[in-house]
Structure formats: structure tokens, C-alpha cells
Amino acid sequence: MSLPVTDTSARAASPRQVDTLIIGSGFAGLGAAIKLVQEGKHDFLVLERGNDVGGTWRDNTYPGAACDVPSHLYSYSFALNPEWTRSFSPQPEIQNYISSVARKFDVLDKHVFGCEVESAHWNDESAHWEVRTSKGDFVAKVVVAAVGALCEPSLPDIAGIEGFEGEIFHSAQWNHDATLDGKRIAVIGTGASAIQIVPQLAKTAGKLDVYQRTAPWILPRADREYTKAEHLAFKYVPGFQKLCRTGIYWMRETQVVGLAKAPIFMKPLQFAAERHLRRQIKDRELRRKVTPNFQIGCKRMLISNNYYPALAQPNVDVVTDGIAEVRKNSIVDRNGVEREVDAIVVATGFHVTDSPTFAGIFGKDGRSLAQTFDEGGQQGYKGSAIANFPNMFFLVGPNTGLGHSSMVFMIESQVNYVVDAIKVIERYDLATVEVRKDAQDAYNRELQSKLSKSVWNNGGCASWYLDKHGNNTTLWPGFTFEFRNMTKQFDLGAYRSVAAGDLPAPAVSAQTAAADSVDAELSDLDDDKVAAQ
């Protein structure tokens, strides 16, 4: 008797099973892990592709990297940091802070580092997510996607760029082994990263060309070192640091009126930015080049005290003619002018509305998140759930971004909502929860109605805030305390839920049937041997 040929995968090691999988460990994923532990939930894992927590603050190590939100506000409310050295923290301090919080709340043992998530498929029969990674397969009842909006570098589509023979790298993938002193360098882009990088490169570059597509509005950076007395007060005066944080928060919230409600109120900020430009750049031609042609706030507002002075240095040129092609050792602009370069720094931002991550997440109808967004735009419910993706929650999801304040505040609001959802699922023994499409649609109609009055939709610019459908799917159109109130509790009524007891009996998979058939054949053979003896 011959045995049938079997698929060895039928006997492969079983996937690791957990109640909750968190994907990513930046501010969002780490915050979710800490909150779960605080709520007594320990059956979870955090899958992190890097070798440490921190996310974008771990990866962005370019010269001059720093935050544009004041330090006291850019931190967890439950883990204030009295050790900030400056009013605006540099990248190493922020990364050290995030790492220290992970250690303090003892969640590092819940992490699987160096773990790239390759795909996530919803299994409707078992009501679980099947997640394939570089470190094996996982099965989870709930998945929390905390991959962040600024994690996938966006590379420019420029003819010939792949044939460049000098150093070339994205700002988020800085090559610290590259020798740039005295070299001819090109920086492509003038966004938040570029305005921090350019002043540092200008100090030592032989020649620096800054390729600008759109000039940004830049405000003064009110940055300073904290005094010894302030440090002592942060550490030992009860409530002092919290009071500082509260003051910064409310000061920032005043910008919402102009950004989201009545753009006319952005005039004072635009006047401040224009004055900053006039004071720092005296050359009229250069000033003309770097003067924006849209209302302030339409694109991300930037802060810097040294960007404009760097552009005015004799070894720096601002190129506004666009790039036609990149050659082996040069860049040719659209007027045909060729400039020789030794190194190119690509500071062109990230895939925000079209993250490659979306292509690997498949909902209950088999469509990927990328397909869902491509067809109807990047829409969600409270930035935390998306129809067709049961038992999956998102941190820093659609329309949770800010143009004025700290994303950590929004992240904490979402974490409260998502962890409460997990508690509700457990309390009522629910197999699945999925936001209703009608609830999601109604929520987004209200969002877009509010955004139609905002400077982001009426400021005269094109930005990464908008998707290909022309909708602003990135920013929250209101005060952050409104979002906090809206996400205090999980609203089960907006979701379609199925009790665990109502799930149909699982069908026997073909793989399992094949394995059982082999087992039966082996058993028959053993019986024949016993009979023969």
C-alpha cells in the first residue's frame, strides 16, 4: 500500500496565538502596550520591525533632527519628563525618553523586535487575524495597527536617479558613514526635515544646492535651554511641570480657530512669518524665491531660526526650476542647467495617504486596505476603525493628524478608545466587532463638511494632507479636546457585533483533511503490522 503525497506545510509548526497583536512600537504602539498592562491585559505582543522602540524617532537620525512641538507637550501625560534640556527636544533626547518609558513600564518583554509584518488576513470562519511575519506566523483575535503616518519614506520619481554614482539616501535613512564635508551636495525638498538638515550641511559643504518645489511658511523657533532653577522646579515642585504643559496646550489650541474654523484668523501668524523672512533674508531675489504663494497653514507650518540664514550663505543656492533628470554625477534642471554633485539627500517626506503597509492587510471580503482606500478614499471611524476590517483598530488612523499641536495627545485619546473596545469585547464575549459602513459614512460626511471651511481646503495649496480624490483624509478639523471627549468610551452601538456563541461551527480545512487522511493511513498500516504478528 502506498501513501499519498502530502503537503509538508500541513505538518508545519502551529502559528503563535495571542489575544491582541500590536504592529509597531513608536509612541502609539508603545502607549497601547502600556495601557493594556495597566488594565490587566497581558495576552498580547508588539511586533516591531526595528531593533528598538521609538518608530520615527528611532529611524530619523539626520543632522539637526528635532521636534517642532514643545517638549513638555510632546510626551505621555502619564510619564512627564523633568529631564528635557530644551524647550524643543532634539531627536536623541526624544528617543532616549521613549526607551526609558518602555523600561519604566516593563513592556519590552512583550516585544518581538526585528519582526517585519508581511501580511495580515482576516479569517471569517475562525474570526481571527492570520498574520505572517519574518519571524513566523501569528494568530490574533484583535490587531492594533500602530504603524504611523511617517514611517515609509517617499522617494521621488525622477528620470535617471537610479544611475547616480555618488552618495544618495533619504533623510529618514541617513548614511552616517558618508563623508560630506567639502562635497557638492544637493538636497531635494524643503519640508520639515529639509529645513533642519540644510543649516547643518551648509556649515561644511563645498557647495549646497537646495531644490525647492514649493516654498514653506516658516515661523521663528522659540527654542532655548532650560535653566538649572527650572530643572529643579520640574523635578521637585509638585504640579509645576504639569502646569507648564497645560499652558502650552491651551496656547496651541488657539490656532485651531484660524486653521479649522475661520482662516481669516491666520493673518497674525502670516504677518509674523513674513516679518521673520524679511529680517533674515535681505537679498530681494532670494526672498522672492522663498516667499510662499499660499495662505499660511495650508501646508504644514514650519519653525526655524537658522534655515533662512543658511540659504543666504555664499556656498548655498536655491533652485526653483525643477529637476528634469539626474545623471551619473549631476542634476539637470528643467531649463537645461546642469549642476555637478557628489551626494544627494532626498528629503521628500513619507507615504502618508498611500502607505505600502496598506497593500498587505486584507479584510473580510478579500480586498486589501490599499484597494479599499483607492476606491473610496482613506476613510475611517474616529480614526480608529474601518468598515470591512473586523477586530482591527488603528492608531494615528485617518483624520487624526494635527497642524498645531502634539500627536501624543491624539494617540492617548485613541489608545483609551481602543483598549476600552478590547475590554468590551471581553466583557460581552464578542467574537467580532466591525464598524458599520453607514456609521462610518455619516462620520466622514461630517468631517468633510467641517474641513470644507478650513485653511487646508481653502488656502490655495496642494499638500500631502489631501488624497487623490481631493479629500483631506489626514487632519482632525477641530479642537483636540473634542476628539478626547469623543473617544472616552467605545461606542458599541456604531459597530456590528457577533457573540462568540453565535459563530458557525468551523469547517474542516483541506489541509487538515489531508493531514487526517495521512494519519488514518499510518494507523491502518500499524494495525496491519499488529495483525501480521
Strands 136-145 vs 392-394: parallel, antiparallel or unpaired: parallel
How confident is the model at residue 353, as a pLDDT? 56
- 152-174: per-residue pLDDT in tens? 667 788 999 999 999 999 998 99
Query: What is the predicted pLDDT for the residue at 356?
Result: 77
Decide: 141 and 391 in contact? Cβ < 8 Å.
yes
Asked whether the beta carbons of 21 and 143 are under 8 A apart, the reply is yes
Q: Which of 78-82, 85-89, 135-139, 373-377 has the lowest mean pLDDT?
A: 373-377
- Condensed to tens digits (0 to 9), the pLDDT of residues 350-378 reads 665 556 788 999 999 999 999 999 888 88
**Is residue 196 over pLDDT 50?**
yes
Which pLDDT score is estimated for 461? 84
Helix axes 407-427, 27-38, angle to 10 degrees: 40
What is the spatial distance between Cα 262 and Cα 182, in angstroms, rounded to a whole number? 48
C-beta separation of 263 from 295 below 8 A: yes
- Among 254, 253, 267, 256, smallest CA distance to 295 is for 267
For the entire predicted model, the pTM comes to 0.89
User: Residue 362's pLDDT is what?
Assistant: 97
Burial class (CB in 10 A: 0-12, 13-18, 19+), 403: buried
Over the chain, what is the mean pLDDT?
A: 90
With cell 517585519, the residue in question is 116
| For the chain, percent of residues with pLDDT exceeding 90 | 83
pLDDT of residue 204: 97
Q: Model confidence over 29-70: pLDDT tens digits?
A: 999 999 999 999 999 999 999 999 999 999 999 999 999 999
pLDDT band at 506 (very low <50, low <70, confident <90, very high): low
> Is the distance from CB of 251 to CB of 304 less than 8 angstroms?
no
Q: What is the per-residue pLDDT across 89-138, written as a single tens digit (0 to 9) for each?
A: 999 999 999 999 999 999 999 999 999 999 999 999 999 999 999 999 99
- Structure confidence at residue 246 (pLDDT): 98
